[in-house]
Structure 1
């Protein structure tokens, strides 16, 4: 059972996250030959204040 765990910065629409889940599932199904029903996708949205790059939060960087 493939388990895909994605961490992204907050701020995307529910529609975009749904599209990501659909496309990751399709690709995993094609590449690994797994059944769609066995593929699990979890998307964690991280607050911009909790994501740092080069010692600066993504919020301060304007991401």
Structure 2
């Protein structure tokens, strides 16, 4: 049955993580009809210093700006 994987930065807020898992379960159940007890949701947390977008590392204080810059492809 459905397996949903969410990859995100670490969160200290267990309540929000539980809410996300419950909401994803309910949405998959509603859309696909899969039984709730057959839907698996897990959250994988990746530290910011092990995450990059557009070549910018998530732990960089200027990450929000740097990760949105267009960079030429490396040759």
Q: TM-score, normalised by structure 2?
A: 0.76
- For 2:27, the equivalent position in structure 1 comes to 27
Q: Which runs of 5+ in 1 are unaligned?
A: none
Query: In the aligned structure 2, how far is the partner of 1:43 from the partner of 1:16?
Result: 12
- For 2:13, the equivalent position in structure 1 comes to 13
Q: If each structure's strand is expressed as a fraction of its own residues, which one has the higher value?
A: 1
Moved over 2 A (4+): none
Q: If each structure's helix is expressed as a fraction of its own residues, which one has the higher value?
A: 1
Q: Which runs of 5+ in 2 are unaligned?
A: 65-75
Higher CA-based Rg: 2
Q: How many residues align?
A: 62
